[in-house]
Amino acid sequence: MNKTILILKREYLTRVKKKSFIILTILVPFLMVGMFALIIFLSVSDDKEERTIAVYDESSMFLGELADDGNTKYEFIPPKKYNEIKADLQKSPYYAVLFIPGNVYTSNYAKLESTKQIPFELSERIERKLSRFIENDKRQKVIAETNIPDLEEKLSATRTRVKLSTLKITDSGEEKKSSSIVAFIASYAMGFIIYFFVFMYGAMVMRSVMEEKKSRIVEVIVSSVKPFQLMLGKIIGTALVGLTQVAIWVVMGVIIMVATQAFFAPETAQQMGQSIMESQQQMAAIPAATQMAEPNKAMEIMNMISSLNLPLILFSFIIYFLAGYLLYSSLMGAVGAAVDNDEDSQQMMLPITIPLILSITLLFIIAKNPEGPVAFWMSMIPLTSPVAMMARIPYGIPTWELLLSIFLLVGTTLGTIWAAAKIYRTGILMYGKKVNFKELIKWLRYKS
């Protein structure tokens, strides 16, 4: 055990003292903040490209009805000019040509032609304009044909939007406000975090083994340390490196949040709050009195989060993170001991990582239907359960399913560590030989 601790300390200190580790640990939170700021900036920035769309309205219904929208201009053209533009659209000054057929009222069909790939947002905006005009025109005709006083107001009053409030009944019969969106976000985030860290730090173990094997330093190490102790020290040491990095990121994240809040003066925050209130009260569909009566949104979100079984989620996260990490890091450590170069490692890594990649690929389906057969079996198979089960737990699952999944995962992890130790013991000192899965099976049969 003392030798394992020495390997652990060496693995840990060697990595945390590297300049690359220090620089990345400090920069990653700022890079993440910058990335999200860039995404927000690009998403809210206006499209500056000016587009002029020629409109040939065969029905004559929309003449003068398509108003310019930002940088998009609409120019109605006669049939002759439409034919000229169609003959050579590439040389025309127009970005696209919109053809509205004479039977658009019954066919609900129009055509937008361009030499470029038309952006989805632009086509969707034009569809919305045409649909809204025809809908209003049909409504006006119905109102004109029906001799009912104030029919338009009565039709407008029939528009209804139902707000569905979800409640969760506790074991004591108490009602707690819940949110399917909060549960979905929590399940997706927990599964993705497990996937990210298991994959990243498991691969780190494999690279560490390969580096020592290439430099032949491992020959000196195994003369005084058993291969199993060496592998165990590497796995635990790398796990501590990962936990150290995550802990630093959490602390830096809290500091950045506190500093951001302190940056704004109380007067500035009050002005921002007033602006938000004013913008909300301008919504025509919701009266101001109704908005004032709504509960505090932050408190409502906190109540929704509290409806989740947070102690169970935290406990399960620790179990599945540790077991999943030990499972995959031992497999990747065995791969690192069995191969001599990166090309061979990629070939042998593929079958190992396919279940992990499959679980993250199906994460949306699992979180969307946590009680379905796909979610159930993915959460029982040990190679996929660390991700799949964490996506199901926020929704609440039977206790026997959770215990069975943990039992299968822990049992498989112990068996994998035993198999990986045998492969590690044989392959760590083997050089220049192409290793395949048939050869690995032969190594597992060697007697200790």
> How far apart are alpha carbons 324 and 353 in whole angstroms?
12
What's the pLDDT at 20?
81
Each residue of 251-308: pLDDT tens digit? 887 787 677 656 544 444 444 445 444 444 444 444 443 344 344 555 555 555 555 6
Each residue of 4-28: pLDDT tens digit? 788 888 878 888 888 888 888 888 7
In the numeric block, which tokens belong to residue 387?
């991700």
Going along the chain from its start, the domains and CATH numbers come out as 51-157 (3.40.190.10), 170-245+266-444 (no CATH)
Q: What is the DSSP letter of 49?
A: -
Q: Which of 288, 311, 323, 315 is nearest to 414 (CA)?
A: 323
| C-beta separation of 115 from 95 below 8 A | no
User: Which residue type is seen at 219?
Assistant: E
In the numeric block, which tokens belong to residue 143?
């109102």
**How far is it between the farthest Cα atoms of the chain?**
100
> How far apart are alpha carbons 60 and 45 in whole angstroms?
35
> How far apart are alpha carbons 192 and 364 in whole angstroms?
10
Each residue of 125-142: pLDDT tens digit? 888 888 888 888 777 777
**Cβ burial 67-92 (10 Å sphere, 16+ → b, else e):** eeeeebbbebbeeeebeebeeebeeb
> How far apart are alpha carbons 149 and 170 in whole angstroms?
51
Spell out, as residue ranges, where the chain has pLDDT lower than 70.
1, 36, 39-49, 147, 151-152, 154-155, 157-184, 215-216, 218-223, 257, 260-308, 429, 431-433, 436, 447-448
**3-class DSSP assignment, residue 50:** coil
What's the pLDDT at 164?
46
- Other Cβ atoms closer than 10 A to 416: 19
| C-beta separation of 403 from 430 below 8 A | no
- Other Cβ atoms closer than 10 A to 228: 17
pTM for this one? 0.61
What's the pLDDT at 49?
66
Quick one: angle between helices 399-427 and 385-392, nearest 10? 160
